């Protein structure tokens, strides 16, 4: 289990759910993982929790400076942190909710890339994995802010991929469907049931199934993969 051996990685939203599964999977494959979150995570072998509010430029600069001071480089960034916060359509979304959802889901990924890119470009190598969603590809009634943010992540990823490909910095997006996480479990049974009913595989995915895809994108096995969308959704978008 050494697909990421020696790599230095930063994973956001890593205190629970998909982010925690990604951090654990990376560590099990030999990476040194900094697990960023606004919540206090648990330290484990290969995983160091760090406080990181992804909507704060100061937090990003502080965390990345710590990683560079300790290890001299950063090889992988996983921009996983995200919130829904508001399930309303455009006409029912207040500006505060709109701004908060975009600040975490879209601006957070932007700030993360800005923070690590100088070091990846200097090293002429790096892998950035941005979390979009199936709702970054297609519309869903309500959740206008989340739809907008995840659609923005999708195209921002492609922009970065073509911009930094000549410097061997790869940027890809991951598009999960309904995954069994605390965020999803807080949604109504009717909402989750409707998505499951529209999913050909007829079930939720697990965080570990998503983490497995991230291990590939972070590894040297994906050395010719950039600007791609890794869809992990049980067939939802195939319809």
User: What is the C-alpha to C-alpha distance for residues 79 and 173, in angstroms, rounded to an integer?
Assistant: 9
What are the sequence ranges of the domains in the chain? 8-234
User: What is the C-alpha to C-alpha distance for residues 36 and 218, in angstroms, rounded to an integer?
Assistant: 17
pLDDT of residue 221: 98
Of the listed 87, 146, 164, 236, which one is catalytic? 146
For 5-26, the pLDDT digits (tens) are: 999 999 999 999 999 999 999 9
- Is this model's pTM higher than 0.75 or not? yes
113: left (phi over 0), alpha (psi -120 to 50) or beta: alpha
What is residue 37's DSSP assignment?
Answer: E
User: What is the C-alpha to C-alpha distance for residues 104 and 80, in angstroms, rounded to an integer?
Assistant: 10
- Please state the CATH superfamily assignment of the domain spanning residues 8-234 in this structure: NAD(P)-binding Rossmann-like Domain (3.40.50.720)
For 82-128, the pLDDT digits (tens) are: 999 889 999 999 999 999 999 999 999 999 999 999 999 999 999 99
Q: Which spans in 5-137 are helix H?
A: 17-28, 57-71, 95-102, 108-123
The strand order across the sheet containing 47-51 reads 47-51, 32-37, 8-12, 76-79, 126-131, 169-176, 229-232
pLDDT of residue 40: 83
Burial letters 43-69, b for 16+ CB under 10 A, else e = eeebbbbbebbbbbeebbeebbeebee
Beta bridge partners of 93: none
- Structure token digits, residue 166: 């000549």
For 174-194, the pLDDT digits (tens) are: 999 999 988 788 778 888 899
Q: Is 146 a catalytic residue?
A: yes
């Amino acid at each position: 289990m050494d697909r990421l051996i020696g790599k230095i990685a930063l994973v956001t939203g890593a205190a629970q759910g998909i982010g925690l599964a990604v951090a654990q999977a990376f560590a099990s494959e030999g990476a040194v993982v900094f697990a960023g979150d606004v919540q206090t995570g648990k330290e484990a072998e290969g995983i160091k929790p760090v406080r990181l509010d992804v909507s704060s430029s100061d937090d990003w600069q502080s965390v990345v400076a710590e990683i560079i001071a300790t290890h001299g480089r950063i090889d992988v960034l996983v921009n996983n942190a995200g919130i829904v916060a508001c399930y309303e359509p455009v006409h029912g979304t207040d500006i505060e909710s709109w701004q908060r959802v975009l600040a975490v889901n879209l601006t957070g990924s932007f700030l993360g890339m800005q923070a690590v890119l100088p070091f990846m470009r200097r090293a002429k190598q790096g892998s950035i994995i941005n979390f979009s969603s199936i709702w970054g590809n297609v519309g869903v009634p309500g959740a206008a802010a989340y739809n907008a943010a995840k659609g923005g992540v999708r195209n921002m990823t492609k922009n970065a991929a073509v911009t930094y490909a000549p410097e061997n910095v790869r940027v890809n997006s991951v598009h999960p469907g309904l995954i069994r996480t605390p965020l999803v479990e807080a949604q109504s049974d009717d909402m989750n049931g409707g998505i499951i009913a529209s999913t050909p595989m007829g079930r939720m995915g697990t965080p570990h199934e998503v983490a497995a895809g991230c291990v590939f994108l972070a590894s040297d096995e994906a050395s010719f993969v950039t600007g791609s969308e890794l869809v992990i959704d049980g067939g939802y978008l195939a319809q």
